[in-house]
């Protein structure tokens, strides 16, 4: 942090003019720093009386790392069911737990959720921590975070996994901050080192141009979020046995500062592209929003849904919920037909786990052909109508 020695400061204002971020100003005869400070050091270098210095906090090393054992999943319950991502996390969580030779637990907050414990055990959990309370019926970030924090403090898991969903993305940073743990968001691959339990958290970095593997050696638990559809759930095994534990919730813990006034279901876009087996995606190659009529027709012939590249979404041709990729959704359909999409790495990370990729592009060197199972080099406005016609003929 930036330290200002008020004894030495002469209020000359040089620091104020040297700060490119407007983060330091002279107030009542002394320099004052604000939250915008980036610790760039320009003010320190320019101060003529050495009244400023930057102190770097020492890296914290947790002494009780050894006490943290086991893999824990944060499960989400919403709209009457456990979110599919929770089962996907249990799938990868089971693999990590087996490799490390430890137990897999899951925390499920909700109003009345005991009926789902069996499904969670069948999906791989050894222990289910049920946090049931009427307040938890509605998602409230502060209470959900405190519940998870309490379970983590008591159970001391080595790893905590959560979905990179709207709920996960708001709760998990809250918890990581409260317990002073590291957190890697949007992991696309997870491994664990058997000998020391180091979680190897892989995710795209630098705009998706490289894949970075992140380790968190100094603190526990190691926390990571994973987007829906990135990991595969295990085949449910209803013969598995597990333990169900009710989490004690002291009254203070479930008191929320959040008042839910109304819950509105988004009716604008009912189709969740992450749950479809067939997707027909359009990109900038469509050249206009009208092109999506053709994409929609092909999708409807195949009983699928429409997806899009960011270029198409940014052009305003189709709403954001259809976007596939790094800043959109990750999908893993059986069939993904990419029409007029170049296959930029930021798009590819969102669809490369599709079983069959068909690419239609008039540029034979487009990167999409590197990940395509089948490629058609040609104008989509010629190829797609022919595909639709052929499908209609087959149906007849
Ligand atoms: P283009 O790259 O312009 O490709 C259009 C393709 O259409 C070309 O290959 C062309 O040959 C072909 N074509 C043109 N006309 C025809 C025709 N008539 N018939 C057949 N083929 C034709 N992108 C995403 O998609 N999703 C994301 O989530 C995402 N996140 C990003 C995050 C960051 C931080 C950054 C920096 C970028 C992100 N991008 C994302 C943008 C990405 O880098 C690309 O710019 C984008 O994917 C390009 O979209 P496109 O393939 O539709 O367009």
204, pLDDT greater than 90: no
Residue 205 in this model has a pLDDT that exceeds 80: no
Residues 6+ apart with CB under 8 A from 71: 93, 96, 97, 100, 102, 103, 104, 105, 157, 158, 159, 161
Same domain for 48 and 117, yes or no, is no
Ramachandran angles phi, psi of 353, nearest 5°? -90, 10
- CATH code for position 362: 3.40.50.1220
288-323 per-position pLDDT tens digit = 999 999 999 999 999 999 999 999 999 999 998 899
Cβ(204) – ligand 1 distance below 6 Å: no
Asked whether 307 lines ligand 1 (CB < 6 A), one says no
Atom of ligand 1 nearest to the CA of 325: 28
Q: What phi and psi, each to the nearest 5 degrees, are found at residue 80?
A: 80, 10
Domain that holds residue 36: 2-54
Cα distances from 263 to residues 84, 139, 260, in angstroms, run: 21, 10, 7
**Is residue 268 included in any domain, yes or no?**
no
Q: Which of 163-167, 238-242, 374-378 has the lowest mean pLDDT?
A: 163-167
pLDDT at residue 58 tops 70: no
Q: Are 13 and 26 in contact (CB under 8 A)?
A: yes
| Pairing label, strands 243-246, 278-282 | unpaired
Regarding whether 50 and 74 lie in a shared domain, the answer is no
CB atoms within 10 A of CB 200: 15
Residue 265 lies in a domain: no
Same domain, 136 and 181: yes
- Is residue 226 within 8 Å of 190, Cβ to Cβ? yes
Residue 275 in contact with ligand 1 by CB distance below 6 A: no
Residue 259 lies in a domain: no
* pLDDT surpasses 70 at 192: yes
* Pairing assessment for the beta strands 210-214 and 159-163 based on DSSP bridges: unpaired
337 lines ligand 1 (CB under 6 A): no
**Cβ of 309 below 6 Å from ligand 1:** yes
Q: Is residue 334 part of a domain?
A: yes
Kindly state whether residues 74 and 25 are assigned to the same domain.
no
Domain total in the chain: 3
Same domain, residue pair 303 and 177: no
Pocket test residue of 317, 322, 338, 340 for ligand 1, highest count of atoms within 8 A of CB: 340
Quick one: which atom of ligand 1 is closest to the CA of 328?
28
My answer on whether 18 and 148 are in the same domain is: no
What CATH number does the domain containing 35 carry? 3.30.70.20
| Dist CA 274 CA 387 (whole Å) | 24
Q: Are residues 129 and 229 in the same domain?
A: yes
Q: How far is the CA of 285 from the centre of ligand 1 (A)?
A: 8
| Residue 60 is assigned to a structural domain of this protein | no
Structural element, H or E, at residue 126: none
The residue ranking higher by pLDDT, 265 or 187, is 187
pLDDT tens profile 379-392? 999 999 999 999 99
Pairing of strands 210-214, 199-205: antiparallel
Do both 210 and 355 map to the same domain? no
**Alpha helices of the chain — where are they, by DSSP H?**
14-18, 42-46, 84-100, 117-122, 141-155, 166-179, 291-301, 310-314, 345-348, 368-371, 380-395
- Residue to substitute in 283, 295, 336 for testing ligand 1 pocket (most ligand atoms within 8 angstroms of CB): 283
Confidence band, pLDDT 50/70/90 cuts, at residue 1: confident
pLDDT, position 377:
98
Most ligand 1 atoms within 8 A of CB, residue of 347, 362, 365, 386 to mutate: 347
Dig out the tokens for 300 from the structure: 């409807």
The predicted-structure confidence for 232-274, as pLDDT tens digits, reads as follows 999 999 999 999 999 999 999 999 999 989 887 766 556 789 8
Joined tokens for residue 396: 């007849």
Q: For position 163, what pLDDT does the model report? A: 96
Residues 81, 201, single domain; the answer is yes
Hey, whose CA ends up nearest to atom 33 of ligand 1?
A: 207
User: Torsion angle of alpha carbons 130, 236, 223, 327, nearest 10°?
Assistant: -120
Domain end point (choices 219, 251, 283): 251
Residues 246 and 227 both lie in one domain: yes
Q: Whose CA is nearest to atom 11 of ligand 1?
A: 363
Here the tokens at position 163 are: 């979905």
Do 100 and 234 lie in one domain? The reply is yes
- Give nearest CA residue, ligand 1 atom 15: 285
* Token pair recorded at residue 204: 């795209």
- Residue 372 included in any domain: yes
H-helix or E-strand containing 337?
Answer: strand 335-339
Evaluate whether residue 266 is within a structural domain. Answer: no
Whether 121 and 88 share a structural domain: yes
Q: Can you give the CATH number for the domain in which 108 is found?
A: 3.40.50.620
- Domain presence at residue 317: yes
Cα separation values, 233 from 85, 86, 260, Å:
8, 9, 32
Which has the closest alpha carbon to 150: 184, 175, 114?
175
């Amino acid at each position: 942090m930036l330290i200002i020695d008020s004894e030495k400061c002469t209020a000359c204002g040089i620091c104020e003019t040297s700060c490119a971020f407007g983060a330091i100003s002279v107030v009542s005869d002394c320099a004052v720093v604000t939250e915008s400070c980036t610790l760039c050091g320009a003010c320190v270098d320019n101060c003529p009386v050495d009244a400023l210095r930057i102190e770097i906090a020492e890296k914290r090393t947790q002494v009780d790392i050894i006490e943290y054992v086991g893999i824990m999943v944060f499960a989400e319950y919403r709209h009457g069911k456990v979110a599919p991502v929770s089962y996907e996390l249990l799938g990868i969580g089971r693999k990590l737990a087996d490799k490390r030779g430890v137990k897999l637990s899951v925390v499920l907050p909700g109003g009345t959720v005991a009926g789902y414990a069996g499904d969670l055990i069948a999906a791989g959990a050894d222990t289910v921590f049920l946090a049931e309370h009427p307040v938890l019926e509605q998602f409230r970030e502060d209470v959900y975070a405190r519940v998870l924090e309490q379970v983590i403090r008591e159970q001391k898991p080595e790893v905590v996994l959560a979905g990179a969903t709207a709920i996960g993305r708001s709760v998990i940073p809250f918890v990581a901050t409260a317990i002073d743990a590291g957190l890697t968001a949007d992991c696309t691959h997870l491994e664990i080192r058997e000998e020391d339990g180091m979680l190897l958290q892989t995710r795209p970095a630098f705009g998706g141009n490289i894949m970075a593997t992140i380790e968190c050696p100094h603190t526990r638990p190691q926390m990571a979020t994973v987007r829906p559809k990135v990991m595969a759930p295990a085949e449910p095994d209803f013969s598995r046995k597990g333990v169900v534990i009710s989490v004690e919730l002291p009254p203070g813990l479930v008191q929320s500062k959040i008042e839910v006034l109304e819950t509105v279901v988004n009716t604008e876009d009912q189709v969740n592209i992450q749950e479809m087996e067939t997707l027909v995606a359009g990109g900038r190659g469509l050249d206009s929003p009208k092109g999506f009529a053709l994409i929609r027709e092909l999708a409807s012939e195949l009983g699928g849904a429409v997806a899009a590249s960011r270029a198409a979404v940014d052009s305003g041709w189709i709403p954001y919920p259809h976007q596939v990729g790094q800043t959109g959704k990750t999908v893993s359909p059986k069939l993904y037909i990419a029409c007029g999409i170049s296959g930029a790495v930021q798009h590819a990370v969102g669809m490369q786990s599709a079983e069959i990729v068909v690419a239609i592009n008039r540029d034979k060197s487009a990167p999409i052909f590197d990940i395509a199972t089948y490629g058609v080099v040609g104008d989509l406005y010629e190829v797609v109508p022919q595909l639709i016609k052929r499908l209609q003929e087959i149906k007849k």
